[in-house]
Amino acid sequence: PGENETKVDLEELKTSVLYSGPVDPAEWVGLRKSYPLLVYLRNNLLMLAILAFEVTIYRHQEYYRCRNNLTAPVTKTIFHDITRAHLDDGVVNCVKYFINYFFYKFGLETCFLLSVNVIGQRMDFYAMIHAFWLIAVLCRRRRKAIAEIWPKYCCFLSCIITFQYFLCIGIPPAPYYPWRSGNANFNSNIIKWLYFPDFIVRPNPVFLVYDFMLLLCASLQRQTFEDENKAAVRIMAGDNVEICMNLDAASFSQHNPVPDFIHCR
């Protein structure tokens, strides 16, 4: 571009995808010459192999239960004979219980930590949106109130990761984006903070990995909220109801059904 068409410095313009070397427009739609072809397709073949292995296991389990007139377990756990009643029996049973139901008990806290991790890793406009959502969820305080707003939070995460995915793809190779024109008051730092598609400061696709991990755990937590309303799951894993409705620490010992191993004497 000419001097009046963009405000980008010449040194910064040389690092642009458009001007650092020849551009093949076919790569924008995912077509790229590669040799050997197996190296290019190995990740896709690996994903197909993992999916086929998973389907084979589930089909084999279903066939085995039908042939032997067995019912599927209530919870998808590793140790089916471990329940909430075995948690205080010993260290081994405690470890087994948390292998089965760690996310059932601490999934919400894990989602909060992952949300903080997304905010700390990104430090951009979308991190600010995540922070607002985290504050909105924490202000609910009660677990039942958080469970009511959680589907909306999962919908927000799925929509925002899809939108950012299209931002990372961007438009086909073109001279420049509108925010790179001579009349736009944008610099590279603002474009990076807003996570705008750009040929000079490209959006960092690694951020989508953090968002995906948060979406994955949030989806599992949504399933956990649904399992908490099932009597069979509550019998096996225990309930997640607050032990004291007024959250008064002085009255915890009156309502806590768990043995007090610290002050037992």
Cα–Cα dist 242/144, whole Å: 10
Which segment of 47-51, 60-64, 188-192, 254-258 scores lowest on mean pLDDT? 254-258
Compare 25 and 124 and report the one with higher pLDDT. 124
Burial of 256 (0-12, 13-18, 19+ CB in 10 A): exposed
210 neighbors 164 (Cβ within 8 angstroms): no
Q: Is the pLDDT of residue 42 over 80?
A: yes
Mean pLDDT of the chain: 84
* CA–CA dist 235, 19 (Å, integer): 64
Contact 139, 115 (CB under 8 A): no
Peptide bond into 197 cis (omega under 30): no
- Please report the pLDDT score of residue 2 as a whole number: 57
Sequence-distant (6+) residues with CB within 8 A of 14 are 20
Residue 232 to residues 22, 83, 235, Cα–Cα distance (Å)? 62, 11, 5
Distance between alpha carbon 260 and the CA centroid of its chain, in Å? Answer: 36
Query: Tens digit of pLDDT for each residue in 126-143?
Result: 999 999 999 999 998 888
Q: What is the pLDDT of residues 178-198, one digit of tens each?
A: 887 767 777 888 888 999 888
List pLDDT tens digits, range 65-120.
899 888 887 778 888 888 888 887 888 888 988 898 899 889 999 999 999 999 99
Is the separation of the CB atoms in 168 and 203 below 8 Å?
Answer: yes
Instruction: Answer yes or no: is pLDDT of 1 > 60.
Output: no
Q: Is the pTM of this model over 0.95?
A: no
CA 131/CA 39 separation, integer angstroms: 40
What percent of the chain is predicted at pLDDT more than 90?
37
Tell whether the model's pLDDT for residue 161 goes beyond 90. Answer: yes
- Give the three-class secondary structure for 81: coil
Q: Where are the domains of the chain?
A: 30-72, 79-241
